[in-house]
A and B are shown apart, each in its own frame.
Chain A
Amino acid sequence: GNSVTQMEGPVTLSEEAFLTINCTYTATGYPSLFWYVQYPGEGLQLLLKATKADDKGSNKGFEATYRKETTSFHLEKGSVQVSDSAVYFCALSGDTGRRALTFGSGTRLQVQP
């Protein structure tokens, strides 16, 4: 079956530091890949997505590239802000018709001023 593995957190960074959160996946075929963000007390919000190999998703300074050869979708940001503190989830949606998302375990990011 499908699965997503994320680096364990929490990740603590100083403001303006570079961020990488690793994500690898296992799936048959060509899944779509997503990063969702969850702020305290809120639901999940889509941060970015990529639907085919070598696609780069980007939003709000965050980027992730769909690497089929390494089955990875690592999240990066060049300069984090305190407001980026949240939990980040990597997820995939299979291409076999099943529409539900399979999530990683989430990575908590804390950015200190």
Chain B
Amino acid sequence: DAGVIQSPRHEVTEMGQEVTLRCKPISGHDYLFWYRQTMMRGLELLIYFNNNVPIDDSGMPEDRFSAKMPNASFSTLKIQPSEPRDSAVYFCASSLFSGEQYFGPGTRLTVT
């Protein structure tokens, strides 16, 4: 298996622009998670899905962030409009109900 795939690996954008991060979970996994890693706040959950349905979005910072999972093999995290404080590494992870989470390589976002 190729593992969790994220794209792009690096994204540099200007403040105010829309950013879309993409994730392909491991085939057969029914949970998908989006985390954000920053120096100040460490690793924090943004949102997670079960069977493509959002279960907990309490970590989504504000309305500028949105996440979708249109099918079992694809999810997006969108930021519109982006701000410099959104600069971070965004990780996607997937798992089975009783299993450990497998993380993708992350997307490093820089907003200037």
A residues touching B (Cβ–Cβ < 8 Å)?
34, 36, 42-46, 49, 89, 98-106
Contact = CB atoms under 8 A, between A and B. Distances in A.
Interface string B78-112: 00000000000001010101001111111000000
Nearest to B102: A46
B42 A103 contact: yes
A63 to B, nearest CB: 17
Given A43-B104, A45-B103, A106 B45 contact: no
Given A34-B100, A36-B103, A46-B100, 5 more contacts: A43-B4, A43-B106, A44-B43, A98-B56, A105-B42
Nearest to B9: A41
What are the 3 A-B residue pairs with the smallest beta carbon separation, nearest first? A43-B103, A103-B43, A44-B103
A98 B42 CA distance: 20
Contact of B48 (A45, A99, A103, A104): A99
